[in-house]
Chains A and B, each alone.
Chain A
Amino acid sequence: MSQIQTLKQKLEARLPGLSAVIDEPRNSNGPWMLDVALANKAVNIEWRPHRGFGISSADPHRKIYYGQGPDEVLSSVEETVERVFELIKLGKSTAAPSELTLAELREHLRFSQAQLARRLRVSQAAVSDLEKNVAKSQLLTLRKAIKALGAELEIRAVLPNAQGFTLKLPEAVTPRSPRSVRPGKHRPPKHL
């Protein structure tokens, strides 16, 4: 049984009365779709073999535009079951990542401040400080925090005519020791 079929079964078991329809691609390596709905809540789930599950709420008040990619991407069936359950049972909605603050991104990725702090080997207060002062943080600091969350930082330049370019950044330097993310006299904010 494929992962999308497993997901469908698990969702149907967790959410009695759920309507769940699989839209199979011509080529089984292509993206599979699972459209689920219960009462007035609906979620579109896209499964890409070897890549995971893309999820978007499809609530009546929310418009999903033609050509738009999924709001969230999760790696396992279990995570996806929990997230879809939350979306449908608790009435929550997915959000596009471009709309998130650093704190929201951390929460979205299910990290606590303490967990992120441990990964960065800094204090929880330092993470809190970074989240409050992202605009004042150094690029390297922000990049390390984003990387610790399992993501990549990108910076985009948008021209007046709306043409956009991603700025090429040098390869990230791997910290040689915990000290490299600790306070340094040339590295505000002071705790990171």
Chain B
Amino acid sequence: MAASKAKRLEEFYRRLRELPAATSFEEAWTQINRTLNQVEGEMSGVPYDPSKWQTDGRLYPPQPDSERKVSRYPKVRRFRSLQHNTLIGENGSIEIRTLAGGVVLSKNGADGKGVTGQ
């Protein structure tokens, strides 16, 4: 039986935190994508098909076209999903926030700095 979304996300955050700090945007982007797709592939029971726009029960990492401009922090790139923003720094830092601003996950880049501390 497939695990609940809450359990899958818990596992995603756990694995992402355990990975070595990323050194660049590209590395952090790959960590998020690869980790969430691995967890969902193992625990959701729903085949991977990001072309399906309407929810199919699977959780998908941010897609490149969901990027927004971030005027205050030029070294940060923001990717919007329904209720969250994924912030990724040039230094490989990652932050996932709810729309209300609550931080769900925060991980520093390899230089030890967070997304807003670069």
- Taking Cβ atoms with an 8 Å cutoff, the residues of A that contact B are 23-27, 29-31, 33, 35, 44, 46, 48, 51, 54, 56, 58, 63-73, 96-98, 156, 158-159, 161-166
Contacts and interface: CB of A to CB of B under 8 A. Distances in A.
A161 B3 CA distance: 10
A65 B6 contact: yes
B67 A25 contact: yes
Given A54-B53, A64-B83, A166 B59 contact: no
Interface of B: 1-3, 5-6, 9, 12, 36, 41-47, 49, 52-61, 65-69, 80-84, 96, 99, 104
Contact of A33 (B47, B56, B80): B80
8 contacts: A26-B67, A27-B67, A66-B104, A69-B60, A98-B57, A161-B42, A164-B2, A164-B46
Contacts of A159: 45
Contacts of B36: 67
Contacts of A71: 54-55
A31 B66 CA distance: 6
A64 B68 contact: no
Nearest to B77: A26
Contact of B84 (A27, A66, A158, A163): A66
Contacts of B41: 163
Given A27-B65, A46-B82, A162 B2 contact: yes
Contact of A164 (B45, B61, B66, B69): B45
A25 B70 CA distance: 11
Contacts of B82: 33, 44, 46, 56, 58, 64, 68-70
Contact of B68 (A23, A98, A166): A23
Contacts of B83: 44, 58, 64, 66, 68
A165 B80 contact: no
